[in-house]
Amino acid sequence: MLKLSTRYRYGLRILVSLADNGDCYSSIKHLCDSQELTVKYIESIIAILNKKGMVISKRGALGGYKLSKPADAITLKEVQETLNESVFFLECIEKPETCTDRSNSCPSRLLWLAVKARIDEILESLTIKDLCEASRLADIETIIASRIQSP
Amino acid sequence: MLKLSTRYRYGLRILVSLADNGDCYSSIKHLCDSQELTVKYIESIIAILNKKGMVISKRGALGGYKLSKPADAITLKEVQETLNESVFFLECIEKPETCTDRSNSCPSRLLWLAVKARIDEILESLTIKDLCEASRLADIETIIASRIQSP
DNA sequence: ATTTTTCCTATTTCTTTAATAGGATATGTT
DNA sequence: AACATATCCTATTAAAGAAATAGGAAAAAT
């Protein structure tokens, strides 16, 4: 439980690479050189991003992928939703029909609503551009602190 | 990814039930009446809690389970670790040998270190007793707010 | 034509979770 | 002693999702 999928981890790395590459098209092969992944596996991940319109593709020689919008317009929440569409953090919240009547006296539900709210707060406040910067600075806490207001 | 396991959800509900029952032994059958689970499945969950010494068992007629320590001495983090021993939120952190050299320039790693820190902060600050209270109040945010200092 | 590269569809493998099953052992009650 | 109530123990199966691989079709540049 609460395991981070490699699909999302790699997806983020791919998007960060594309962002660093600016307006050029990066081929999967090129993305592979910097990452230790197979062409086929990256392909399957980027295919999802492509179908959702997060990247623009160009076929044939000199083709590849680039971001479909500025890196600071892509939130990490958006990426998560794209890459893990059918998986629900908490079914009884996202699909109420699964566990209707327990509602607000269910301790698990209350706890995870609270946890999820905090995760989402971070994922919504950060963008791919922030990740690029965090990677350069080797620090993300400062960026988060500047985004999220303390109550 | 980031899916909450039913094992943990049910485990919490079981512990909250035991807490509400005070010093009496609750049989699995009794726990079943309030929850919509089979005897066998609850048994398999509570067996884990028992092996780790979180509950005390008594066999035979009038037997059952009760908490091994006060409900306010059992943190939710402890429960999570007990029920999901072998699952790592982020392998490259918890088992560094998996992904050594990417370290602090890996965007995923930075992000999830930050997210994990916030989840752990909540899980460590709350106890089973808090969950009992949250369940009664149908609110957990007030409790969390009183525990976690804003920076 | 040839090379590069995306695109599409399918399959396999692996891990983990979820759930079930049968019977052994202990304990209180009658 | 017999019986009912419970935990305990050890498997096994089923289902889901994640991870990874495979082969070839289609497009575009040189």
Q: So where are chain B's domains? A: 6-147
CATH 1.10.10.10 fits B6-147, yes or no: yes
pLDDT at position A150, please? 57
Q: Which residue is nearest to nucleotide D18 (CA to C1')?
A: A5
Judge: B76–A110 Cβ closer than 8 Å, yes or no: no
B35-39, B52-56, B119-123: which has the minimum mean pLDDT? B35-39
Could you say which residues 70-129 of protein chain A have a Cβ atom less than 7 A away from any atom in strand D?
Answer: 84, 86-87
> What is the C-alpha to C-alpha distance for residues B103 and B126, in angstroms, rounded to an integer?
31
CA of A90 vs C1' of D11, distance in Å?
30
Chain A, window 62-101: residues with a beta carbon less than 8 angstroms from a chain B beta carbon: 76, 80, 84, 87-90
* B149 Cβ under 8 Å from any chain A Cβ: no
Please give the full DSSP string across A71-98, using - where no structure is assigned: GGG-BHHHHHHHHTTT--S-HHHHSGGG
Q: Summarize pLDDT for B40-96 with one digit per residue, the tens.
A: 999 999 999 999 999 999 999 999 999 999 999 999 999 988 987 666 667 676 666
pLDDT at B37: 79
- Residue B84 contacts strand C, CB under 7 A: yes
Return the pLDDT at B61. Answer: 93
pLDDT at A9: 87
Element (H, E) at A64: strand A64-67
Question: For the segment A75-110, what is each residue's pLDDT rounded down to a tens digit?
Answer: 999 998 898 766 666 767 666 656 655 567 788 888
* DSSP secondary structure, B23-34, as one string: TS-B-HHHHHHH
Minimum CA–C1' distance nucleotide for A87: D17
Q: Which of B88, B119, B145 has the CB atom closest to A3's CB atom? A: B88
More confident residue, A4 or A69: A69
Give chain B's mean pLDDT.
Answer: 86
Instruction: Write the residue in B138, B141, B145 that is nearest to A105 by C-beta.
Output: B138
Token pair 């919240």 is at which residue? A93
Q: Which nucleotide is nearest to A61 (CA to C1')?
A: C4
Query: A120 is written with which tokens?
Result: 């989402």
Q: What is the pTM for the complete model shown?
A: 0.87
Token reading at B55: 């509950």
- Can you tell me which residue has its alpha carbon closest to the C1' of nucleotide C29? B61
